[in-house]
A and B are shown apart, each in its own frame.
Chain A
Amino acid sequence: MIKVENITKHFGEDEILKGISTTFERGKTNLIIGRSGSGKTVMLKCLVGLFLPNSGEIFFEDKALGEMNNEEQRILREETGMLFQGGALFDSMNIEDNVMFPLRMFSDKSRPELLARVNEVLKRVDLENVNKKFPSEISGGMKKRVSIARAIVNKPKYLFCDEPNSGLDPKTATLIDNLIQDITKENNITTVVVTHDMNSVMEIGEKIVFLKNGKLVWQGTKQEIFKTNNEDVTDFVYSSDLFKKIRNIQIEEN
């Protein structure tokens, strides 16, 4: 479980996060949603330690991130996997080496042993026979799957995903969403996904945190998000024609 207590983050005069408090539960896919510029990615980067919050605290299983010593931080890094928006695969390495990279950093096992684990996770994300290809030689959807494989290769306790299905066709996007949810359940990990895609909310949103202008304005489940009267949330949810039509049908049926 990850607990966030009253974190703020500003860059110069711009206050991006304004005192956010919430919890992200273990074994669930937790979603941070909101419009572009609402502070979702900054919050995610605070969670993974890429940005330091200006105030507030983040707890990983009751241990404050700001109070961890170097060894505790190293262990936390080993327990953390992240899927970046563009994949962030290392261009100079082939797929096999990309996925093996976190293992090599934390393990002294021999290459054949590491390779066995790499092949296992590549198989888990339905990618086989791509080991020797380079990131530039595979499709966007495959890059995302390789990135998931790299994120889970160390059997993390925490998985963070930044817009995992941006730039993908709807079918591949659903596939990636389901893969993230399945991995979360299989390994009982705490997964935090940043998205503005309502399809993802429908597919995998077990706990949803809604941000607007750096503030947390609503949190709940995917069932609750369609029933809430919070104007900001309804504005966001029903901004697409499809969801407007669904709502109108529901109203007519009621």
Chain B
Amino acid sequence: MKYLRDIGSYFLMLKKVFSSPTKRSVMRELIFKEIDDLIIRSLGIVAFISFFIGGVIAIQTALNLDNPLIPKTLIGFATRQSMILEFAPTFMSIILAGRAGSFITSTIGSMRVTEQIDALEVIGVNSLNYLVFPKIIAMLFFPFIIVISMFLGMLGGYLAGVYGGFSTSADFIAGLQNTFYPFHLVYAFFKTFLFAFLLATVPSWHGFYMKGGSLEVGKASTKAFVWTSILIILTNYIVTQLLLSQ
């Protein structure tokens, strides 16, 4: 029963987010601030993780190629497919559910605890539009992070594969170019947009409707991370089933 009520409350929140818009000049500033907080400040961790995971994928693939009939180009191919189809869109989203999601929940939750949300309402601001809408717009830039993640993952794989002595440069690049379906990029970016929406709204819901004090802010952040991750995994499964299965 509680879950049903929570789901209803989430959709009612979305309705309010898109009603009674905040003044345009104020909203513009908020959007730039959110892009900085949620996108630009996430670039470092995304770049670091993507680069090294790309490297690990290349090494793991190479170490498991003990059949001489399997071409070495598979190392580049496996790195590309892993990065584009799953690692960059899905796992980066889960990593960002920890980083950006917790940030969103704790920021909004702290505002709730310290009555800043009440202050917005008394001033006549639609607090949900003011707090959540700029985050949704900022997260529209999430695919840029995913592009960077894809590129750095493949670069990491290339450097680990070639300079680690597992593949030649020509083999790796041939593997990267082998049987490339542009639709895989469409699939990856389509689900990235869905994950971006979840990343902006689920942690916001947890922060906005939390009750209690600072201890509960911490608990809400943890819950937000768990639920955002669960929803990303479920959405990933459904989208994959719909778009990729024959």
Q: A91-B110, A105-B23, A105-B26 are in contact. Are A84 and B124 (CB under 8 A)?
A: no
- Chain B residues 3 to 40 lying within 8 A of chain A, measured CB to CB, are 23, 25-26, 33
Q: Is B1 an interface residue (CB 8 A)?
A: no
Q: Which residues of A contact B238 (CB under 8 A)?
A: none
Q: Is A86 an interface residue (CB 8 A)?
A: yes
Measured between alpha carbons, how far is A78 from B23 in the docked complex, in Å?
Answer: 14
Q: Is B116 an interface residue (CB 8 A)?
A: yes
- Interface flags for A241-252 (1: CB within 8 Å of B; 0: not) read 000000000000
Q: Is A176 an interface residue (CB 8 A)?
A: no
- Interface flags for B109-141 (1: CB within 8 Å of A; 0: not) read 011001110110111110000000000000000
Q: Which residues of A contact B26 (CB under 8 A)?
A: 104-105
Q: Which residues of A contact B121 (CB under 8 A)?
A: 49-50
Measured between alpha carbons, how far is A74 from B20 in the docked complex, in Å?
Answer: 11
The answer to whether A105 and B119 have CB atoms under 8 Å apart is no
The answer to whether B119 and A88 have CB atoms under 8 Å apart is yes
The answer to whether B23 and A84 have CB atoms under 8 Å apart is no
Q: Is A85 an interface residue (CB 8 A)?
A: yes
The answer to whether A77 and B122 have CB atoms under 8 Å apart is yes
Q: Which residues of A contact B25 (CB under 8 A)?
A: 104
Q: Which residues of B contact A49 (CB under 8 A)?
A: 121-122
Measured between alpha carbons, how far is A49 from B111 in the docked complex, in Å?
Answer: 19
Q: Which residues of A contact B115 (CB under 8 A)?
A: 84-86, 88
Total count of chain A residues near the partner, CB < 8 A: 24
Given B33, B111, B118, which contacts A50 in the complex, CB threshold below 8 Å? B118
Measured between alpha carbons, how far is A50 from B119 in the docked complex, in Å?
Answer: 10
The answer to whether A90 and B116 have CB atoms under 8 Å apart is yes
Chain A residue, CB-CB nearest to B115: A88
The answer to whether B123 and A77 have CB atoms under 8 Å apart is yes
Q: A86-B114, A86-B115, A91-B110 are in contact. Are A104 and B122 (CB under 8 A)?
A: no
- Chain B at the A interface: mostly helix, strand, loop or mixed? helix
The answer to whether B114 and A88 have CB atoms under 8 Å apart is yes
- Chain A at the B interface: mostly helix, strand, loop or mixed? mixed
Measured between alpha carbons, how far is A82 from B125 in the docked complex, in Å?
Answer: 14
The answer to whether A82 and B119 have CB atoms under 8 Å apart is yes
The answer to whether B116 and A91 have CB atoms under 8 Å apart is yes
| Of listed B33, B118, B125, residue having the most chain A CB within 10 A | B118
Q: Is A80 an interface residue (CB 8 A)?
A: yes
The answer to whether A82 and B122 have CB atoms under 8 Å apart is yes
Q: A104-B26, A105-B26 are in contact. Are A90 and B119 (CB under 8 A)?
A: yes
Q: Is A101 an interface residue (CB 8 A)?
A: yes
Measured between alpha carbons, how far is A82 from B111 in the docked complex, in Å?
Answer: 16
- Interface flags for A33-68 (1: CB within 8 Å of B; 0: not) read 000000000000100111000000000000000000
Measured between alpha carbons, how far is A104 from B23 in the docked complex, in Å?
Answer: 9
Q: Which residues of B contact A220 (CB under 8 A)?
A: none
| Of listed B111, B119, B125, residue having the most chain A CB within 10 A | B119
Q: Which residues of A contact B114 (CB under 8 A)?
A: 86, 88, 91
The answer to whether B118 and A88 have CB atoms under 8 Å apart is yes
The smallest C-beta distance from A21 to any residue of chain B, in angstroms, reads 24
Q: Which residues of A contact B125 (CB under 8 A)?
A: 105
Q: A91-B110, A104-B23, A105-B26 are in contact. Are A50 and B116 (CB under 8 A)?
A: no
Measured between alpha carbons, how far is A2 from B111 in the docked complex, in Å?
Answer: 29
The smallest C-beta distance from A146 to any residue of chain B, in angstroms, reads 12
Q: Is A19 an interface residue (CB 8 A)?
A: no
Measured between alpha carbons, how far is A115 from B91 in the docked complex, in Å?
Answer: 46
Measured between alpha carbons, how far is A247 from B127 in the docked complex, in Å?
Answer: 48
Measured between alpha carbons, how far is A82 from B116 in the docked complex, in Å?
Answer: 12
The smallest C-beta distance from A80 to any residue of chain B, in angstroms, reads 6
- Interface flags for A83-116 (1: CB within 8 Å of B; 0: not) read 0111011111000000001101110000000000
Measured between alpha carbons, how far is A77 from B124 in the docked complex, in Å?
Answer: 5
- Give me the interface of A with B, judged by CB distance under 8 Å: 45, 48-50, 73-74, 77-78, 80, 82, 84-86, 88-92, 101-102, 104-106, 160
